[in-house]
Chains A and B, each alone.
Chain A
Amino acid sequence: MLAAIVATGLATGAVYALIAVTYNVMFSASRVMSFTSGQLGMLGGVFGTVFALWLHLPVLFAFVLTLVACAAIGVVTEIVAVRPVLASLDKHLYVLSTLAFALMLQQLVAIEFSTEPQPFPRLIGIGAGVLDQKFWLPVLAGGVAVGLLEYVYRRTLIGHAFLAIAEDSFAARALGLPEQRLRMTSYAIAGAVGGLAGFAGGELMLSYVANGPLWSFYGFVPVALGGLGNNRGAIIGGLALGLFQQAANFLVGGIFVSVATFVVFILVLLAAPQGLFGGAVGRRV
């Protein structure tokens, strides 16, 4: 029983972690918390079902198409919901614009796809029991995604450029960096990461329109726990959240899981407002 709890906890936690990374990547490029993150995850599952099950495309091809489609929606998010409100970040208009765009995506999926959970294809057919692919695929996807992102951010020139526009977009522009193009690229990467979450977690959590708001919610917890912009913190926070949820489900029952989760979340934030892995932010005076 413990193995089942751990396997499910790690898998769902990895999906939450990938959604948290989606939040982080978008935030890093624009200082905007985009509420489309969970919807991008949901779309990863929906596209997976549409491409692999409905259109009978090979799984690998369906996977690539899913990432491309989600990346494109990431770019549209930037154009439609983020760029118009960037000039007035201090008014937090992005909360409304990204939330509205997220709701539009959700309604569109409800109308054109289904309001009921839909099956997701068996991807590679490896493993059984607690070692089934549906448990370890999301964890693998999370590890690979964060590893690649960390490499890009820390070891490549374009990664440094992403960090530069996040740090000070005016200074970055003054240095000749193509700020807008870099931001769009970041949103495309975020879209692909969100799509990866939904695709890798599809076998376990199905293609379901209601996953969108749920993941937007639970994906935000690791962001806060791990520290805003900290992908390694998000992964640890996500896995911890998944394990805690499953343990709470086992110990106190399904009806109290959300309550237990948010009690712990609030307690952690009271103890460490900057997140468990985030450093205190300096304020320029």
Chain B
Amino acid sequence: MTLARRDFLMASAAFAGAGLARPALAQSEPIRIGWLAALTGPGSSAGIGFDRGVTFAINEINAGGGVKGRRIELVTRDTQGDPTKCVNASVELARRLKVDVVWGPCNSGEALACTPILAREHVPQIHPCFVDTLIDPTKYPNAYRIACSNEQLGEASSKYVLQIMKVRDIALIGDTTGYGTSTVQAYAPVLKQMGGNIVYQSLIEASQADLSADMLRMRDAGAKVIMPWSVNGGLLGRLLNARGELGWDVPVVGHPALGSGEVKALLAKPEYWNKVYLMGFRSCSFDESGNLPERTQEFVKRIGGKITLADTSLWWVACGYDVAHLVAKAVEQSGGSGADDIIKAWNAVKDYPGVYGDYTFTAQQHNGYPTDEIVLSRANSFRDGAFEVAPGYG
């Protein structure tokens, strides 16, 4: 086969044309958000809530013409809360599908597995996981946290107990899982540093059938408040039942699971849920008059009839909603969806008014959630995805 000069010139022109056309094509390509979602399996309730929020926001943005004419496309992978599946999905999203941003995963166990991979692949990642070590601008320069960290939760709960409740004698307990153990170890020095007196500290096996002996030991040690750190509804339910059966009205301040439906179902009497306070967020909590903050109220009105809040948490939905808008804002400001464009734009985010909170990121600080938004809520006040703020905040 011979190649005529004319054919060669035409082919060269075609290649050149393709090269010139590429930027124009990138400007019309969708912005692809990879979503590492636990939509099925034991830890799926949060994933479903986040999914409702991010999907709603993307539909809303696309209906309004997209971002500079570009649509946002959500590429979802159900990790089932399994770190192995999460790693596989991360590799697929980063290498094969070449998404612009990764949102998720939803739990720290998965995030610990996939964050180093996404850092290596240089894909901007934003997640809501609490474990402190997941954010490190040196090790993971492209990872950002949209929710609070464990350290922030510890600080907020300690402040509530020591400064608002004005109680010093604390029983600090956790379950024997990695979460319970590490949280107790992390919070004990924080409490002591802030003036707390830990009169009882223990790790309890989550399957322990009866907690009466532990409760008696806490009471005998002089505890004036119990701070349990566990996601196990069975353990928390037993703890509250043991407290109720002893007739001991000591307040309980701890993990958001204290307000879960699982705990409610296990209570021997509804009144055993009194004086139980869980970690929550001011933006997604009812005030003492039963109202949400104005911005959240407007959001709830907007999603009314489109997203159900009865079986999920408002903060999950709001957080997912804000993620889509943070991505859209980054693309809009930087004019592109390349990794460096998005990272540069996120590093300049200051007091961005989301529904879940006002976010601020810098090149050195990738924890974007403000600590003063973290508040305690009454465990027995759940309605429409939110709790009522605990007494004392004013």
Contacts and interface: CB of A to CB of B under 8 A. Distances in A.
Interface of A: 1, 4-5, 7-8, 11-12, 115-119, 129-130, 201, 204-206, 208, 210-211, 214, 246, 249-250, 253-255, 257-258
B204 A254 contact: yes
Interface string B36-50: 000000100000000
Contacts of B212: 4, 8, 130
B360 to A, nearest CB: 36
Interface in B209-255: 209-210, 212-213, 216-217, 220, 232-234, 237, 245
Main SS class of interface, A: helix
A8 B176 contact: no
B203 to A, nearest CB: 5
A116 B234 contact: yes
B363 interface: no
A254 B216 CA distance: 15
Contacts of B271: none
B207 interface: yes
A246 B213 contact: yes
B262 interface: yes
A201 B209 CA distance: 9
6 contacts: A4-B213, A12-B209, A117-B234, A119-B265, A206-B234, A254-B203
Interface residues of B, number: 24
Contacts of B262: 116-117
B219 to A, nearest CB: 10
B289 interface: no
Interface in B174-223: 176, 181, 202-205, 207-210, 212-213, 216-217, 220
Given A1-B216, A117-B237, A119-B265, A204 B209 contact: yes
B234 A253 contact: no
B156 interface: no
Nearest to A2: B213
A250 B208 CA distance: 12
Greatest chain B CB density within 10 A among A119, A246, A257, A258 is at A119
A4 B209 contact: no
Given A5-B213, A255-B176, A214 B207 contact: yes
B217 A1 contact: yes
A249 B209 CA distance: 11
A231 B176 CA distance: 33
A254 B202 contact: yes
